[in-house]
């Protein structure tokens, strides 16, 4: 053996002999120290609390096409069940027998919308004038009452401007329909408003005579009255399916407060909730297929965590024993948070990297502690990296301590 190996053996042997002497010496200080057998380290982790469920793939929306005799006589369906259609695909063809009547009705409707918009705009102008008079006449004596009146007028003006915006949007829509009627005076068609699949056609002409389901998918699931308080809109959801290789991600977009079925006494009422997908699936998933859900009910990123075995509870308070750098144990009260399995979040009074006692022969605040020497963990390269001077200094420091 060379001198390096002998140095390692000698330091280890002296250290063990010194420890044995201190332990068995009468009135030894070691007997008044805490022997720490095992400990744990405070770490940063992402804590995710979740709940599993099952759901069904459903379309985001369905379009219902209605047939009204006053718009023209029915001629033919231009699609069949199962057809894939795009937005503005012709669905129905109507004859032009009553097209003139339909155009007249549409023109009357447009005229009514224009009159309503004009009346509202006149009303807004009057309110603006009144608001200007009030604002110009505000003095210290009437400031409070005039300010209230001015605020009230501003709210009323805003509401009427919203009404004008809605009516203008409806007017634009009706003018578009009228232009379409004029362009196809000999033949009138009803087009789809969404891209999707023709789900149902009613050849008996009972409304809705055509149902189209959209290509965009969502997930619909059910929860009980006990679960409804634990779910919130905006919660993240991970969706898996045997028909989709990759996991899908989504968000709970709505939770219905109306019962899914007729409520019955002594039976749990069920409610439905909708999950909006962040991205549509890359492969086709049939409508109505089953999927597995993982709802993220609580998520904490970069939480300080520690093993629950290191925490002692006393009433509503939590304590840990910290192995301090000066060789003593400190009893410290901490604030805890979320617990997952055998790990618990520490919300206050702890730092990453601190070591908490898991098992010791005795625990007392401000007492010194020692741990077992593990020669197997003494490696030649560690001493080499430290250098002879530092290795010797460290060993002597241990003996003196």
Rounded to 5 degrees, what angle do the CA atoms 215, 221, 224 make? 160
**What whole-number distance in Å separates Cα of residue 223 and Cα of residue 311?**
35
Which pLDDT score is estimated for 358? 86
Count other Cβ atoms within 10 Å, centred on residue 162.
10
Which pLDDT score is estimated for 156? 85
Which pLDDT score is estimated for 35? 82
Which pLDDT score is estimated for 401? 47
Beta strands, E only, 60-173:
62-65, 74-77, 84-85, 90-95
Which pLDDT score is estimated for 54? 94
Model confidence pLDDT, tens digit, residues 65-85: 998 877 677 889 999 999 999
- 73, two tokens: 């006589």
Which pLDDT score is estimated for 139? 72
**What whole-number distance in Å separates Cα of residue 4 and Cα of residue 383?**
9
Q: Where are the domains of the chain?
A: 1-19+376-401, 52-59+216-300, 64-211
Q: Over the chain (401 residues), what is each successive 10-residue block's mean pLDDT?
A: 63 65 52 78 88 92 86 85 92 74 82 89 86 77 75 84 88 83 65 91 93 92 89 93 87 91 87 93 85 91 89 89 89 88 88 87 81 65 63 56 47
Which pLDDT score is estimated for 399? 52
Which pLDDT score is estimated for 393? 63
Architecture of domain 52-59+216-300: Beta Barrel (2.40)
Which pLDDT score is estimated for 186? 47
Which pLDDT score is estimated for 212? 94
Which pLDDT score is estimated for 246? 85
């Amino acid at each position: 053996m060379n001198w390096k190996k002998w140095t390692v053996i000698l330091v280890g042997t002296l250290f063990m002999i010194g420890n044995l002497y201190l332990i068995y010496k009468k009135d030894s200080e070691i007997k008044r120290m805490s022997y720490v057998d095992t400990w744990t380290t405070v770490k940063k982790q992402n804590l995710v609390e979740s709940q599993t469920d099952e759901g069904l793939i459903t379309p985001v929306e369905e379009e219902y096409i209605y047939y009204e005799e006053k718009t023209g006589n029915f001629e033919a369906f231009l699609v069949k069940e199962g057809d894939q259609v795009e937005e503005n695909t012709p669905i129905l063809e109507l004859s032009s027998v009553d097209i003139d009547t339909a155009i007249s009705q549409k023109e009357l409707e447009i005229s009514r919308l224009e009159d309503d918009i004009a009346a509202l705009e006149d009303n807004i102008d009057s309110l603006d004038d009144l608001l200007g008079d009030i604002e110009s006449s505000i003095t210290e004596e009437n400031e409070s009452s005039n300010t209230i009146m001015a605020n009230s007028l501003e709210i009323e003006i805003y509401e009427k401007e919203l009404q004008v915006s809605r009516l203008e949007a409806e007017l634009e829509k009706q003018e578009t329909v009228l232009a379409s009627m004029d362009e196809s005076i000999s033949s009138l068609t009803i087009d789809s408003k969404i891209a999707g699949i023709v789900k149902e056609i009613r050849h008996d002409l009972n409304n809705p005579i055509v149902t189209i389901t959209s290509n965009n998918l969502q997930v619909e699931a059910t929860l009980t009255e006990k679960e409804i308080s634990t779910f919130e809109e905006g919660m993240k959801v991970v969706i898996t399916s045997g028909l989709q290789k990759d996991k899908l991600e989504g968000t709970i977009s709505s939770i219905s407060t109306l019962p899914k079925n007729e409520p019955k006494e002594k039976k749990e009422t069920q409610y439905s909730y909708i999950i909006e997908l962040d991205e549509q699936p890359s492969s086709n998933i049939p409508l109505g297929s089953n999927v597995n859900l993982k709802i993220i009910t609580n998520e904490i990123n970069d939480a300080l965590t520690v093993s629950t075995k290191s925490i002692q509870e006393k009433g509503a308070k939590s304590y840990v024993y910290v192995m301090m750098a000066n060789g003593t144990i400190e009893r410290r009260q901490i604030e805890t948070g979320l617990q997952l399995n055998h790990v618990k979040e520490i919300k206050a009074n702890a730092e990453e990297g601190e070591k908490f006692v898991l098992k010791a022969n005795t625990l007392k605040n401000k007492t010194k502690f020692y741990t077992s020497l593990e020669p197997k963990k003494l490696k030649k390269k560690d001493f080499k990296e430290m250098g002879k001077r530092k290795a010797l200094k460290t060993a002597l420091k241990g003996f003196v301590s």
